[in-house]
Amino acid sequence: MLEFCKSVLQKVSFDHSLFQKELTKSIQWVNQTEVENLRLWCLETYGTQHGAIIQQAFETIL
């Protein structure tokens, strides 16, 4: 599921609102052990482009 979420996020990364929506869904879909991996991947891959969205999405669950 983690790889599927990554592929979806890559496809919508051009749009801030779509990225936020799909990231929220992805956090709900992945299991608890994959959440940290998803967070790190998001920060490494899209931290400069969507840093605030990523931080906001993960602060409620971590």
pLDDT per position as a tens digit, 3-59: 999 999 999 999 999 999 999 999 999 998 899 999 999 999 999 999 999 999 999
Name the domain count of the chain. 1
What's the pTM value of the predicted model, to 2 decimals? Answer: 0.93
**What Å distances lie between residue 11 and 14, 15, 16, 33, CA to CA?**
8, 9, 12, 24
Residue 62 is predicted with a pLDDT of 64
Residue 8 is predicted with a pLDDT of 98
The alpha carbons of the chain give a radius of gyration, in whole angstroms, of 10
Range of the domain at 7: 2-59
Residue 43 is predicted with a pLDDT of 97
Which residue reads 């929220």 in tokens? 24
